[in-house]
Structure 1
Amino acid sequence: MKQWSGISEFVAVSEHGSFTEAGRALNISVAQVSRNIAELESRLGLKLLYRSTRKVSLTEEGKIYLVHCRHLVESLEQANQVLSSRKETPRGLLKITAPVYYGETQLAPLISEFLSMHPDVELDLHLTNRKLDLIQGGFDLAIRLGQLESSSLIARKLSSRSQHIVTAPHWIEQHGEPVTITDLRANQCLRGSVNYWRLQDANGNPIQFKPQGRVHCNSGPFLREAALQGLGLVQLPDYYVRNDLKAGRLVSVLSAFQAANEGIWAVYPQNRHLSAKVRHLVDFLQQTLNR
């Protein structure tokens, strides 16, 4: 890399006709400009500039060298501008992983909107409920729900979710409404992939309740449908049951024991210079998930 030293200074002095003006343009000292050009001439074994107290002029060799060096400096400036543009404008491939149902129902319309806004962005979206290794898989970003495990990844909170225990109105009519956590033990609970329900006591202390019942399934949509059919009670995140609660197809019970909200997170590898595509998407999701 030493062979490049002094070229920018030589071009700047040639164009400005002054070591002082060249230093000002490059934001370095006059002494550094002079030293770097002297080292360049020493490496080349040729004199490039005539120096006097009044002006600076090019030697014959300096004029020839300037033609080629000017192209080098212009190409470097263009390369810097391209990277600077990429830093500000989202472009390139975005490789993302997210949970299946949340990705299909909550992220899909938002990411599609983001892609419409940024036509230079490509998408590779992996929907899975497994927590993939971002580094090994080459992922730019992961969407994670709930409590995060300790890791070296950077996590930024996008929004939050609440957990609701719900059932069909006719279940309540037939079996009565549970008013304490103990009452749950006498009810049919629809069990999911997590072995416990997150609740809290009257003092706000977290409680893990292990549900019992004849239905077990690792699919949230199936458990929602089972609840709609009056097969029992189920705990599901708000985005599963929000519309059903508004329409009265499901009712929420034990609201006083509802656990504190959980985070919805954007997680990405540590990178001192976060790319524009990731930065803009995270900002966009944070804004739109909370509108």
Structure 2
Amino acid sequence: MSSWDGIDEFTAVAEQASFSAAARRLGLSTSAVSREIARLEDRLQTRLLHRTTRRVELTDAGRDFLARCRRLIDERDEALAAVQPDDQAPRGLLRMTCSVSYGERFIAPAVNAFARQNPELRIELDLDNRLRDLVGDGYDLAVRFGHLTDSRLMARRLASRRLILCASPDYLARRGAPRDLSEIASHDGLIGSAEHWRFTEAGREVTLRPTGRWRCNSGAAVLDAALQGLGLCQLPDFYVAE
């Protein structure tokens, strides 16, 4: 129990001369206000208010206590205001992580604009395709694709993407285009950071594990390999939109 308990409620009732009006001012229920004042009087072993069905009046002790409470509340509010920034602008360090290519194309420009608008804020943006332990590694937030698996975290959807199966015209001329998912296994797969390729067939999700002699964890490098005719790849739509 805090020594402050009941003081705001008592002061509001004394100034409003009404429990219900004080409750509205404080955003509390009338019963909660009455309960806090009763506890305060019990701690002080002093009656502060005379209550009747029509009005609320201060006792002599209540009038003296009200004057002191007003000074305490004013000093408390001044102390709180003194340590709060005048403009409430973000300050301190913001650490975040994002995958490399998506971060370079979309997140970094947005973060840079945010940094320009908030000059008191320090920002560390870590572009890394590895899944990071946000809590253990000290990150404030991460931008990632997929579903949240860590129950300690909260997620908000920012955007969506489509995965595109693609190859160069030269490769398709030599090897032919796969007519269905079963034929993908016979093609040279250009494997990126994802171990499985995902498709939707007849309303259900299907995953395939590609095979091939080429692998790289950079989407840009996978795209270049595909353009040079080395095989099939699956990439997010923002890589191949052009």
After TM superposition, the score normalised by the length of structure 2 is: 0.70
SS in 1 for 2:158: strand
After superposition, the C-alpha distances for 1:28-51 in whole angstroms (9 at most, x for unaligned) are: 3585476355335427xxx87899
In the alignment, does 2:242 pair up with 1:239? no
Q: Residues of 1 paired with 2:162 and 2:206: CA distance?
A: 15
After superposition, the C-alpha distances for 1:153-201 in whole angstroms (9 at most, x for unaligned) are: 3333332211112122233344443333344444432222333322344
SS in 2 for 1:212: coil
After superposition, the C-alpha distances for 1:67-114 in whole angstroms (9 at most, x for unaligned) are: 5432332355568889xx9xxx78354432322222222222233344
What residue is the counterpart of 2:145 in the other structure? 145
What residue is the counterpart of 2:41 in the other structure? 38
Q: Residues of 2 paired with 1:24 and 1:206: CA distance?
A: 54
Q: Residues of 2 paired with 1:25 and 1:106: CA distance?
A: 46
Q: Residues of 2 paired with 1:56 and 1:118: CA distance?
A: 50
For structure 1, which segment, 211-220 or 20-29, has the greater mean C-alpha deviation from structure 2 after superposition? Answer: 20-29
Q: Residue 49 of structure 2 contacts residue 56 of structure 2 at CA under 8 Å; is this kept in 1?
A: no
Gaps of 5+ in 2: none
User: Shift in Å at residue 19 of structure 1?
Assistant: 5.6
In the alignment, does 2:125 pair up with 1:125? yes
Q: Residue 6 of structure 1 contacts residue 40 of structure 1 at CA under 8 Å; is this kept in 2?
A: no
CA gap of 1:4–1:109, structure 2 versus 1, over 3 A, is same
What residue is the counterpart of 1:188 in the other structure? 188
The aligned amino acid for 1:209 is L
Bigger relative CO (Cα 8 Å, ≥ 6 apart): 1
Q: Residue 190 of structure 2 contacts residue 233 of structure 2 at CA under 8 Å; is this kept in 1?
A: yes
What residue is the counterpart of 2:3 in the other structure? 3
Report the aligned-residue RMSD: 4.2
What residue is the counterpart of 1:198 in the other structure? 198
SS in 1 for 2:215: coil
What residue is the counterpart of 1:95 in the other structure? 95
In the alignment, does 2:220 pair up with 1:217? no
SS in 2 for 1:213: coil
Q: How does 1:1-291 map to 2 (within 5 A)?
A: 1-12=1-12, 15-16=15-16, 18=17, 20=19, 25-26=25-26, 27=28, 28=30, 32=35, 35-36=38-39, 38-39=41-42, 41-42=44-45, 56=58, 63=64, 66=66, 68-77=68-77, 91-92=90-91, 93-116=93-116, 122-149=122-149, 151-201=151-201, 203-243=202-242
Q: Residues of 2 paired with 1:211 and 1:24: CA distance?
A: 65
Q: Residues of 2 paired with 1:90 and 1:168: CA distance?
A: 50
Aligned length: 233
After superposition, the C-alpha distances for 1:234-290 in whole angstroms (9 at most, x for unaligned) are: 1111122212xxxxxxxxxxxxxxxxxxxxxxxxxxxxxxxxxxxxxxxxxxxxxxx
Gaps of 5+ in 1: 244-291
SS in 2 for 1:158: coil
Q: Residue 95 of structure 1 contacts residue 124 of structure 1 at CA under 8 Å; is this kept in 2?
A: yes
Q: Residues of 1 paired with 2:124 and 2:108: CA distance?
A: 12
Q: Residues of 2 paired with 1:230 and 1:213: CA distance?
A: 13
After superposition, the C-alpha distances for 1:191-231 in whole angstroms (9 at most, x for unaligned) are: 22333322344x34443333333322222111111112222
Q: Residues of 2 paired with 1:42 and 1:36: CA distance?
A: 10
CA gap of 1:179–1:78, structure 2 versus 1, over 3 A, is farther
Q: Residues of 1 paired with 2:14 and 2:76: CA distance?
A: 17
State percent identity of aligned pairs.
36
The aligned amino acid for 2:74 is E
CA gap of 1:3–1:212, structure 2 versus 1, over 3 A, is closer
